[in-house]
Structure 1
Amino acid sequence: MSDKYPPESGRRRFVKGVVGSSALSAVAASSGMVLNTATSTQGVGGGSVEYVGIRNTDGPAPRGLPIVPLRTTDDGTLEGVWPEVETKTRRDGTEVKVAETEIGGFPYSSKWFQYCGVQTLPGAQPGADADNTLRVKGGYQWARPLETGSPVSVDDFDNYEEWGNGVGDDGIGMPLNVTWRNVEEGRALSVELLRSTEVSKMVAGEGEYGNLPGDVREFLDAATTEDCIAWLDKCTHFCCTPGFKSSDYPGAENAVYCQCHQSIYDPFTPVKQQFVALPRVD
């Protein structure tokens, strides 16, 4: 049985009749910046933000998917790194909590995830009492024995160097849909996790990865662990949910594919980009 996820959609490549604010998504704000208007603009934060993401290579998506930094606990559990939280005073005298830090010499903040309505989720608020452990969401057939909601361990990917699902090349990487920033009430952030031998090669700049900028490699060295890399699983076009090795669509076989409008992302060519983040709820 093949291990394809998700099933190929019968939807047309482009959707007609999109109106309102959604039709204005991906409007160019300035050179190198993109304004995503799919959600409310009320709240605190927002503004121009630089981030590191997996590169968009095809389709209507305006930019890449932001990387979620990872770390491994002593028992092998995988966690997403949330920026350090501090309280700052605004010009009007009110105090707000801000989540920002530096990873691998690169500024990292909660603004990376302020688009597609993610900024309204309880776990996306800087000071939220949220669980940073990556937890099984499922999606792929290989993960069916794993209990939904259980912590993800590097040991769950024990055959990642050979795994295949009938799409693209075997051994290129083993994916899993997970949740992050879980809270008692409300939805967690959706993340795609990938364990691949290509991750170590990217960090080392081996072969074709020698063209990756040094500062991107430095960030990857600090933001990946045990050959694992992760990104927010929200397409930057219309906020659909893409999947790695999920389709035979030309050019997407070994990449992240969004079946809604055929956007493709390459997890093996991370890039620095800018966009205008929407304000979060405060």
Structure 2
Amino acid sequence: MFQTSQTYEIVFIFLGFSHYPKVEVMIFMLCLLMYLFTLMGNLILISTTILDSHLHTPMYFFLSNLSFLDIWYTSSAFAPMLANFVSGKNTISFSGCASQMYFSLAMGSTECVLLSMMAYDRYEAICNPLRYPIIMNRRVCVQIAAGSWVTGCLTALVETVAVLRLSFCGNSIINHFTCEILAVLKLACVDTSMVQVIMLVISVLLLPMPLLLICASYVLILSSIQRVRSEDGQSKALSTCSAHLTVVILFYGTALSMYLKPTEVNSQEIDKFMALVYAGLTPMLNPIIYSLRNKEVKVAVKRLLVKKSFSTVLIPTLN
């Protein structure tokens, strides 16, 4: 039963990486650097896609959404942890834990759906190039992005409410650095089988099913590329997909290892370090991958830097 008077008095305590006092400061510095690079890289990518008219295409519209998701996801996990480390407090209120859990789940779930929609976009661009501008018009792109956000936010709400309605019976020590749903679920002192079924159903809907859609899209893409006679055409088609495919492998690889691992593998310490990769490394690498593997982004960044340099030189001259 959900007991309001009891639940709102709970203050959760994070164990974090206190079991590793010799490397705790090193982990803090690593997380701080990953967080700063994530913010900088994704903000640059968002700004570039907005300011450069050459990037006003469906692919970069979805990429901007992905960067925005990564910023929110990393912030929800790392910002409270870094603040707690600096203040020396490893606590969080019930409402703060609920918010952190919800935003982490919402951003992660939305990214699962969005990555599959980006694969569909690449399929239409390569397999139906003549009809692509009609199929993926602005209204359709907005609807796809909105559908991804709504799906992610609603499924996260269901999971968060299901977990936080449980009774914790005074258990308040979370063996994690964030209010990760599996770590909080272990604090419950009542039967959690129904919640686990809900989580399993949602995990199947948001992990294997979108991944199957991505795989199907790339099978069709590869078969279409093989029919292209010119090597330049094949190279260009592959280059537009390689960055997205790299991000998919990185994202789904860590996600599947965390949430669909065998039940006998139950090390919370392994989960915490996997969460660092999932919440920090992947969002940090996404803009780097898209920048290094995408000529259009590199050209757009150079173009904006030239404009800024020209403006900086021109303004004093006019004055």
Does TM, normalized by the shorter one, top 0.5?
no
Larger radius of gyration: 2
Please identify which structure carries the higher helix content: 2
Give the TM-score range, shorter chain: under 0.3
Higher relative contact order (CA 8 A, sep 6+): 1
Please give the TM-score of this superposition, normalised by the length of structure 2: 0.25
**TM score, norm. by length of structure 1:** 0.27
More strand by percentage: 1
